[in-house]
Amino acid sequence: MRTEERLQLLAEIADQYYEQGLTQNQIARTHGYSRSAISRMLNEARDKHIVQIQINYPLQRDRTLERTLERQYDLQSAFVVKRGGLPYRHILRRLGRLGANYVIDNLPDESILGISWGTTIFEVSNALTTARRNFDVEVIHMMGTIGKGDPFIEGHELVRSIANSLGGKYHELHSPLIVENKATQKALLNEPNIRETLDMALDADLAIVGVGSTDTSISTLMTGGNISKEEMQNIQEQGAVGDICLNHYDQDGKVLDIDINQRVIGIDIKKLAKSSCRVVGVAGDERKASAILGALRGGFLDVLITDTHAARSIIDSNGGTEK
């Protein structure tokens, strides 16, 4: 049997078992196989990612930490997922589910949704695929595209997937994310198509963004091979603790006048913060606490979705007394 025929058979058997609710014995009689052969095929379908099983654990939240964050940083809302002993990759999925729920519950019809990039926004996108809704929405990718990384995390597939899940249209920023110098940045930002897309992003009703860290163990920009460890360390040495849409800022939330910021094609987060757009930050883990704290101090976020590890680090950063 040819490979494509085998995959089609596995998909049919998986559909009969998982979607139609047939027993393995019923499927075996339909296809002329033994029940044990059907069992092996179902396992093969999972191994070849024809079937993907997602377990939606209850999202337990810490209301006390949520209220504290809202009060200390004048947030419209905070959502804090209880972390326990979960590894980072598992908590990312839960943050993604909360982010997707927030979008579905708060996105108005006939609206504009801005998105950034990264592993957390990828998990938001994944969660949206299981809760398809039809909105009259235009989804804007607020950054250029690196082009050499994972397109589902860094590029056009991310904005396309979210738009498809929401039943809307999407707009890409047809530009590289990082250019050679400030002169090239200025020229591209003045290009009519790029300027029009970024102006549309500033008119967004809602923007959902990841919060990047300069911690080399967790930075998507570095771990994706987009910049070297030495370059990231140089960015750290210039005072950067985090970024939103690659606008790097310091621990006080001041956007820095450094080389990387002068070469990025994307939304200006200071302008976004001054707009009427509600900006939702989705990020967790204590390694991102400094980056999240800087974003809060800079006033870049209206809503924060995070986990207990990051929330406690943020609140404790100034003795839990910061307003």
Per residue in 234-252, pLDDT tens? 999 999 999 999 999 999 9
Predicted local distance difference test score (pLDDT) of residue 119: 92
Tokens for 221?
A: 């920009």
pLDDT in tens, 239-292: 999 999 999 999 999 999 999 999 999 999 999 999 999 999 999 999 999 999
Cβ–Cβ under 8 Å, residues 91 and 308: no
Task: Examine the pLDDT at 323 and tell me if it is beyond 50.
Answer: no
pTM (global) more than 0.85: no
User: Quick count: other Cβ atoms within 10 Å of Cβ 94?
Assistant: 23
Q: What is the mean pLDDT of residues 145-153?
A: 70
C-alpha dist (Å) from residue 143 to 39, 246, 308: 46, 8, 29
Q: How far is CA 149 from CA 6, 28, 223, 224, in A?
A: 31, 43, 10, 6
Fold of 3-47: Arc Repressor Mutant, subunit A (1.10.10)
The model's confidence at residue 320, banded by pLDDT at 50, 70 and 90, is low
- What's the order of all strands across the beta sheet hosting 212-213? 212-213, 242-244, 247-249
What pLDDT is stored for residue 322 in this prediction? 42
Contact of 255 with 261, CB cutoff 8 Å? yes
The predicted structure's pLDDT at residue 319: 65
What pLDDT sits at residue 2? Answer: 80
- Assess contact for 308 and 280: CB atoms under 8 A: no
| Residue bearing the bigger pLDDT, 135 or 72 | 72
Average pLDDT score over residue span 189-203: 97
Q: What are the residue boundaries of the structural domains of the chain, listed by start?
A: 3-47, 63-316
- List the structure tokens of 195: 């300027």
Higher pLDDT among residues 322 and 184, named by residue:
184
Give the mean pLDDT of the chain.
92
For residue 132, what pLDDT is reported? Answer: 67
Q: In what order do the strands lie in the sheet with 278-282?
A: 77-81, 303-307, 278-282, 206-210, 111-115, 137-141, 169-171
User: Which whole number is the average pLDDT over 99-126?
Assistant: 94
Per-residue pLDDT at 147 exceeds 70: no
- Domain 63-316's class? alpha beta
Burial zone of 45 (CB within 10 Å; 0-12 exposed, 13-18 middle, 19+ buried): buried
